[in-house]
Amino acid sequence: MWGRHDPAVPVGVVDVGSNTVRLLVSHEGSSVLTRRAMLRLGAEVERHGAIGEAKLAEVSGTVGSFVAAARSIGVERIEVLVTSPGRQAANADELVERLAVAARAPVRVISAADEGRLAFFGALSATRGGGRKTVAVCDVGGGSAQVVVGTRRDGPAWVRSIDLGSMRLTSRLLPGDPPGTEAIAEARAEVERYLDGFAPPLPQAALAVGGSARAVGGVVGPKLGRSELEGAVELLAETQSDEIVGRYGVDPDRVRTLAAGAVILAAMQARLGVPLRTVRGGVREGAILELAERRAAA
């Protein structure tokens, strides 16, 4: 499909997160192949502290198949990124070793700061705006959440992360369907505890990336201001998952962690002081940009 020495051959990234494993292959800035599998590694880490053998085999097989699919369309350079499971699981080293064997490609556990940085560049790649405008990017994942503030011209200037995401918060405090107002109040208090001292510089605009933000946006719209997020939290507190799926078309794999994601997004938006706007760019898009730059420089 593409010549072996063509500098514009596609590049690929596999993102191993707490909720999902995703593949993105990009060619000259456009997505040409995507794959997704909901494996919920974060729930296993939250319950047991480590990833069990069955789940290790499942994630290794998934990553191997995703890499094979990428290589079948001409991808030569592909990288596997492991986010919060690689930072939180007691057997993270074993996870990395199994993925490296399955993928036959570089596997890298990225720090929370790097995860936020990649999300920042990926989000900005999906938007237009002035180079000097201060923008915040909020990325709520399954096992952690990041906020990055900076400009398009100068890059990130402020990066913070909390070790709590939608999957971890759901497993910990929101097991009910629906979770109910009392459980939501406990979840809010837990998020506030993690956000103690979390004081970002106030941006001129804010973007939200990741599956939680997109799913909440599917319920209340792409603008996630104070009233929209509070409305989402109240709705999700008292509405069963199957009704949310039927009414709003939310992915059934995502709906059970949606209330937790909305609670975290609401708390972060309150600190940023401006509405969040959902965009599709994120960690994978940022990693693709980084990988393409490294390839061009080689």
Instruction: Please state which of the four CATH numbers 3.40.50.620, 3.30.420.40, 3.40.50.720, 3.20.20.70 is assigned to the domain occupying 11-109.
Output: 3.30.420.40
Outline where DSSP puts E strands in 83-141.
107-109, 134-140
Task: Give the model's pLDDT for residue 2.
Answer: 35
Task: Give the model's pLDDT for residue 291.
Answer: 81
Q: How far is CA 61 from the centre of its chain?
A: 21
Task: Give the model's pLDDT for residue 7.
Answer: 52
Class of 127-278 in CATH? alpha beta
Query: Could you check whether 11-109 and 127-278 share the same CATH topology?
Result: yes
Q: Which ranges of the chain have pLDDT less than 50?
A: 1-6
Task: Judge contact between 112 and 161, C-beta under 8 A.
Answer: yes
Task: Judge contact between 46 and 172, C-beta under 8 A.
Answer: yes
Residue 252: which residues within 8 A CB-CB, separation 6 or more?
241, 245
Task: Give the model's pLDDT for residue 4.
Answer: 41
Task: Give the model's pLDDT for residue 5.
Answer: 42
- Of 133, 287, 157, 107, give the one whose Cα is nearest residue 209: 287
Strand arrangement, sheet containing 155-162: 155-162, 145-151, 134-140, 205-209, 276-278, 223-224
Where do the domains of the chain lie? 11-109, 127-278
Reduce the DSSP state of residue 10 to 3 states and report it: coil
Task: Give the model's pLDDT for residue 6.
Answer: 47
Distance CA 19, CA 156 (A): 26
Phi-psi region of 260 (alpha: psi -120 to 50; beta: other; left: phi over 0): alpha
Task: Give the model's pLDDT for residue 31.
Answer: 87
Residue the block writes with tokens 């085999």: 57
- Residue 274 is which amino acid? V
- Residue 139 is which amino acid? D
Q: What Cα–Cα distance (Å) separates residue 30 from each residue in 8, 24, 33, 75?
A: 11, 10, 9, 14
What is the rounded (10 degree) CA torsion for 267, 273, 278, 284? -70
Task: Give the model's pLDDT for residue 3.
Answer: 39
Q: How many CB atoms lie within 10 A of CB 181?
A: 12
Exposure string of 79-97, with b = 16+ CB inside 10 Å and e = fewer, is bbbbbbbbbbbebbeebbe
- Of 101, 121, 6, 99, give the one whose Cα is nearest residue 55: 99
